[in-house]
Amino acid sequence: MNKCTDTYGYCYDLFDFDYDRLIIFEPYESLESMQKKLGFEYSGLKESPDEKVMNFIFVKGETVLYYVFGYPQHLGFDFFFEGIGEFSEEEVDSCQYMREGKYFVVRGLEK
């Protein structure tokens, strides 16, 4: 992911790599459900214990590019996506983000 210093912009600048899908998992979602959404075997998936844990994954074909899981204070950044589910690169790229320090809000991802 790009080390973005802008206060706001479009996600194509923030996620400046080639991927097919972004999957944002629900809090407390089961491993079985996450695996089904992913569509292929990936042993690194984890169930989030509460709503504060970030749990999302960028995928290209059947390859995991980035898996983000953890509490923001441990990861050093925080993303808030206005939406949960699966989104294409085109859908994500057209969304805007706002940045305040290490906190990012991505607007426009709604199903």
pLDDT in tens, 43-89: 999 999 999 999 999 999 999 999 999 998 888 888 888 778 999 99
pLDDT in tens, 1-18: 556 666 888 888 888 899
Which pair of structure tokens corresponds to residue 96?
A: 């805007």
Instruction: Quote the pTM value.
Output: 0.88
Task: Provide, for the chain, the percentages of residues in helix, strand and coil under a 3-state DSSP scheme, each rounded to the nearest 5.
Answer: 20, 35, 45
Is the Cα dihedral 83, 73, 66, 93 positive or negative? positive
